[in-house]
Structure 1
Amino acid sequence: MNTIKSGLTAGIMMLCAGLAHAQAFETSARAAYVYDQTTGTVLLAKDAATPLPPASMSKLMTIYMAFEAITQGRLSVDDILPVSTHAASFGGSSMFLDTTDRVSVEDLLRGVIVLSGNDASVVLAEALSPDGTEAGFGRLMTERARQLGMVNSVFVNASGWPAAGHRMSTEDLGILSSRLIADFPTFYPLFAETEFAFDGRVPSNSQNRNPILRMGIGADGLKTGHTQEAGYGLAGSAVQGDRRVIFVITGLDTAVARAEESERIVNWAFRQFAERDVATAGTRVATADVWMGAETSVGLTVAEDLQMLVPILHQGSVNGEVVFDGPVQAPITAGQQLGELIIALEDLPEKRVPLVAETDVPLGGFSARMRTAAMVLWGKYGFAPGADAGADANGA
């Protein structure tokens, strides 16, 4: 494995020259996760991998699976679903359904998203469950969560009703929120709706509980949660300019604290970080030796335009390292991933960028094989192949 300092490091340092260091954000939340979806940058992670009671925020997984079923044609927004005795038995936040109701999927989706209906969640779950039960749907939710990369989530029910073993991490909720936004752009605007007066039956229960939707900070989702065990939580998202920020907090003591902390996080994420162009697609950042190729080396380039989110007051250095297995075996195809550029900025997780071959390198002929044999002999017997070859062998 070759690890080298990238020539791009100097470029990044010049890019950030004159900026100073951003102060780390302190949150009173039990756990928190803040993610800049535009650049793929994690801005804050406090106990983010710890599985905790998610309360109604776990309804986001029920909604994801309902959206998925609709896009796959297994469910329609016009379908009418029955309300079972089990679904009608739930208290807490509710659409106040009873067993005489027959409800459209469209109304049920709004009932879950806007009204946080436990009953609506169960109606959808029973319709999509492999065995027709909420418990069966919970097992299906857990399986699908693993496929989405949510490794710290286990679902026992569809609503987040307190139950032993029903857990999600704030990081998993962040992953899920990001997937909802990216995978279902047609349905996502439902999360910004502030009111849903289902059937006019309970006017006092028609308002979306998400406090950031009315703050004028670009918020357009997603879901609140509260139980005595979990405290007050929120999976939220906001857009300002070209950037979207997703955040998840949990374990706050009051609804007021949840609202205040959410606004603080959104303001911090947008005001304390700025997007910077680092490199354009095709920029060569290193050279790798080639084994048995028509050429002795190949350039390693950035496959796509590279932007990076940096603290607006950053003055520290930025480290960049290129990592690849070398020498690289020919044949090589242009665009083939050969390594990674790892960029580290203080107070932010490292960013890993794929590096690809700049050009094709076909297998070499007889002369290439002889050259390779000579290189092997040089290495075996300690001969020096020359200063330039030595530099190439280190990937510089």
Structure 2
Amino acid sequence: MKFRFTPKSSPVRLATIALVTAAFGLAFAQTPAPAPSPAAPAPAITEIPPAPVPAGKAWVIMDYTTGQVLAGENYNERLEPASITKVMTSYVVAAEIANGKVKRDDPVMMSERAWREGGAATDGSYSGFPVNQTAPLEAMEKGMAVQSGNDAAIALAEHVAGSEEAFASLMNAYAERLGMKDSHFVNAHGLSAPEHYSTAYDLALLGRAMIRDYPETYAYNKIKEFKVGAMNPQPNRNLLLWRDPSVDGIKTGHHSGAGYCLMSSAQRGDQRLIAVVMGSTSEKQRASDSLALLNWGFRFYETHRLYDVGTAIATQRVWKGKSKQVQLGVATPLLVSVPRDRYDALKPAMEVPKQLVAPITKGQALGMVKVTLDGKVVAEAPLVAVDAVEEGGFFRRLWDAFWMWWDSD
């Protein structure tokens, strides 16, 4: 890929480009065309078929690396997330562990409230930890992730924040930090409650953050069964763990108000996708639809790393500096998800001010790089200075000031 510059080019540069273009045109004109191959392969199909539409209220499939939505419907509609809520609970607990507030080996009490509101006497799923007894925090987390234990979720919330209500405030604070603009939590388990809602898109963002920020905790979601005390082992409700070895999480959810929900993630090679299905009609349906979405995404899309941090992707003229040029790069890796076999159709362009003036600090934002496909922006990032450019001496500044004036409109 070659850059297209938005600032005006100088007459000398335009003349040079014209000469080079003419030379290449002459060279191609004098080269005889190769004979067509008698067995030439059919051209690749570039048009992507529509994604399989799941049964239910809302769905989305997202590329993990870029956060790009590949397809979806109603994915910004606020719905009850059911037990997918527990992914938010897991994220908060993992964040508090990382911040040194709690530890994985902390003894966590199964309080009477946690047992009464989320235990065996309720209609929801439970882990079975004995009431008024403690268990290691890590075991409670597995009981919540694998068994979808409502009792374990409440116990963890009480341990981390003192009460489930205080923990819900933490959930909302972390959700805001993650950019989950259409989510609000009032409990740690996901049973139906007024003002407890999220969206398919927000939940995909949450799953992406969970995988990226706390992979050790995320790994609990691929455990196929978990046993508490003398109880029989309880299986993970994510049927995809048995159907496809590339699936390694993440969480199911169900109650009468939410229907059947599933957030799933799979990795094949270097590519990872996240699918969220909400309000499906059955346990089997949500699994089948989610796998169909993942298969579609892997079949028709691929992820590319366009530019790395610290690598110069362009050079721009600098005025009044010790150096006459500055190298431009990106502050974070620039990645993009595109239809397979369309990488060569990407068109990057750079937008920078016509005149850059020293001093320039390392990492200073100086413009934008935008990558388009078929005229649509598919990735963009700030352009920053790879290295600093110090201010030049008096005569350099005076000389450049004259030429800047001369070159101005």
Q: TM-score range by the shorter chain?
A: 0.7 to 0.9
Letter in 1 for 2:181: V
CA RMSD of aligned residues (A): 3.2
| Alpha-carbon spacing, 1:101–1:295, altered in 2? closer, same or farther (3 Å) | closer
Partner of 1:215: 243
Partner of 1:312: 340
Partner of 1:105: 137
Q: Say which is worse superposed, 331-340 or 144-153, in terms of deviation.
A: 331-340
Q: Secondary structure at the match of 2:83?
A: helix
Q: For 1:211 and 1:73, how far apart are their aligned partners in 2?
A: 35
Per-residue CA deviation, residues 305-344 of structure 1 (Å, 9 max, x unaligned), is: 7554321254994343323445334112455432221113
Runs of 5+ consecutive residues of structure 1 not aligned to the other structure: 7-16, 379-384, 391-396
Contact 2:112 2:132 in 1 (8 A): no
| Alpha-carbon spacing, 1:279–1:161, altered in 2? closer, same or farther (3 Å) | closer
Letter in 1 for 2:192: P
Give the alignment partner of residue 122 of structure 1, picking from 148, 154, 159: 154
Per-residue CA deviation, residues 92-125 of structure 1 (Å, 9 max, x unaligned), is: 1112455344333222111100111111110111
> Of the two structures, which has the highest relative contact order with CA contacts closer than 8 Å and spacing of 6 or more?
1
| Alpha-carbon spacing, 1:63–1:22, altered in 2? closer, same or farther (3 Å) | same
Q: For 1:348 and 1:208, how far apart are their aligned partners in 2?
A: 41
Partner of 1:159: 189
| Alpha-carbon spacing, 1:18–1:329, altered in 2? closer, same or farther (3 Å) | farther
Contact 1:19 1:315 in 2 (8 A): no
TM-score w.r.t. structure 2 length? 0.79
Contact 1:287 1:298 in 2 (8 A): yes
Q: Secondary structure at the match of 2:142?
A: helix
- Identity of aligned pairs, percent? 34
| Alpha-carbon spacing, 1:157–1:277, altered in 2? closer, same or farther (3 Å) | closer
Larger Rg: 2
Per-residue CA deviation, residues 334-355 of structure 1 (Å, 9 max, x unaligned), is: 5543222111335987212342
Letter in 1 for 2:359: P
Q: For 1:243 and 1:222, how far apart are their aligned partners in 2?
A: 16
Contact 1:316 1:346 in 2 (8 A): no
Q: Secondary structure at the match of 1:293?
A: coil
Per-residue CA deviation, residues 56-98 of structure 1 (Å, 9 max, x unaligned), is: 0011111112222333333233332222232112321112455
Partner of 1:393: none
Runs of 5+ consecutive residues of structure 2 not aligned to the other structure: 9-42
How many equivalent residue pairs? 367
Give the alignment partner of residue 21 of structure 1, picking from 38, 44, 47: 47
Q: For 1:151 and 1:329, how far apart are their aligned partners in 2?
A: 39
Partner of 2:38: none
Q: Say which is worse superposed, 70-79 or 218-227, in terms of deviation.
A: 70-79
Q: Secondary structure at the match of 1:162?
A: coil
Q: Secondary structure at the match of 2:395?
A: helix
| Alpha-carbon spacing, 1:233–1:335, altered in 2? closer, same or farther (3 Å) | same
Q: Say which is worse superposed, 262-271 or 29-38, in terms of deviation.
A: 29-38
Q: For 1:286 and 1:77, how far apart are their aligned partners in 2?
A: 47
| Alpha-carbon spacing, 1:346–1:27, altered in 2? closer, same or farther (3 Å) | farther
Q: Secondary structure at the match of 1:224?
A: strand
TM-score w.r.t. structure 1 length? 0.81
Q: For 2:49 and 2:7, how far apart are their aligned partners in 1?
A: 27
Q: Does residue 257 of structure 1 match 2:274?
A: no
Letter in 1 for 2:367: G
